[in-house]
Amino acid sequence: MGAHLGRRYLWDAEAEPDPLHMPSFPAQLGLPARQPRVMVASASQLSDARVPLEQRDFCGHHLLRLLRCQRDNFPVPWGCHALRHAWDSCQHEDYVMRMKEFERERRLRLRQQRLRRR
Amino acid sequence: SEMSKDMMPGPYPRTPEERAAAAKKYNMRVEDYQPYPDDGLGYGDYPMLPNKSQYERDPWYQWDQPDMRHNWGEPMHWDFDMYIRNRVDTSPTVVPWHTMSKHFLLFLSIMLIMFGLGEIYPSYRPVGPKQYPFNDLYLERGGDPNKKPPAVIHYEI
């Protein structure tokens, strides 16, 4: 934790991804069979539930089910653990995808450097 | 208690006899009596006492007025009502002033430098930015519904 910061600020900024300008390579480069992400819940459903904008991501359908279950079971706080776990694991998969994106960007930048040196 | 005209403050004392009379009026010794310099500000013959607040007086001595730390008949400072214990306090600091200011300025400068460095070189997790659907929530973020939004497609990985 912090090795990427050391590499970026003290070493070689070209080889480290800049999180403000990502992704800088075409999406299909090196991964020809990439599928676009599927959004299950619709925009009108999310806006009817008045979900905050930061939570209107690709795990919105799990969140909607969880909120409905919590509203039905109120004031009892238990009873929605399974749906909560489903939403949490979807968020976890999303975070792992972000990490993979970062790593892909980094490897493509290193490859670009190697190609330039050749 | 009525005060007669000769007990009130008078003009600036010029002769030594006037000084002795003024010192006697204010219950002070002639050696201790020192009026304010006569520069027309209007202090007259009122004595100039050291600018020390009542906090600096001994708390354990049996004063006639313990809350004021003042004895009956003692000459009062011109700004006595300012130097009471509820107001201005001129007690000496525990640590010398230059040490205090040095410590404070050192702390302030180090904090400002570190915050500035944090602005120039921000810290972030090694993850890509969060991906949002519907063209990065174009309509939800206030985009014009009549215009065509810039197409943003996110892929699985």
B94 part of a folded domain: no
B67 part of a folded domain: no
Would you say residue B10 has pLDDT above 90?
A: no
The values of phi and psi at residue A81, to 5°, are -65, -35
Closest CA to B34 of B22, B20, B47: B47
Q: How far apart are CA B119 and CA B117, in angstroms?
A: 5
Length, in residues, of chain B:
157
Cα dihedral: B12, B16, B19, B20 (round 10): -160
pTM of model > 0.80? no
Which residue range forms the structural domain that includes residue B21?
A: 1-47
Closest CA to A43 of B150, B145, B128, B114: B145
B118 part of a folded domain: no
pLDDT in tens, B33-91: 988 888 877 788 899 999 999 999 999 999 999 999 999 989 999 999 999 999 999 99
Q: How far apart are CA A94 and CA B129, in angstroms?
A: 11
Cα A95–A101–A105 angle (5° rounding)?
Answer: 150
Q: How far apart are CA A40 and CA A66, in angstroms?
A: 15
Subunit contact A47:B140, Cβ cutoff 8 A? yes
Subunit contact A39:B133, Cβ cutoff 8 A? yes
pLDDT band per the 50, 70, 90 thresholds, residue B5: confident
So what's the ipTM on this one?
0.86
B130: nearest CA partner in chain A: A98
pLDDT band per the 50, 70, 90 thresholds, residue B11: confident
Rounded to 10°, the helix A60-73/A81-117 angle is: 160
A50: nearest CA partner in chain B: B140
A40: nearest CA partner in chain B: B133
A76 to chain B, any CB pair closer than 8 A? The answer is: no
B72 part of a folded domain: no
B116 part of a folded domain: no
Q: What is the DSSP letter of B54?
A: G
Would you say residue A1 has pLDDT above 80?
A: no
Q: What is the DSSP letter of A11?
A: I
Cβ neighbours of residue B21 closer than 8 Å, sequence gap 6 or more: B13
B20 part of a folded domain: yes
B14 part of a folded domain: yes
B103 part of a folded domain: no
Considering its fold, how many domains does chain B have in total? 1
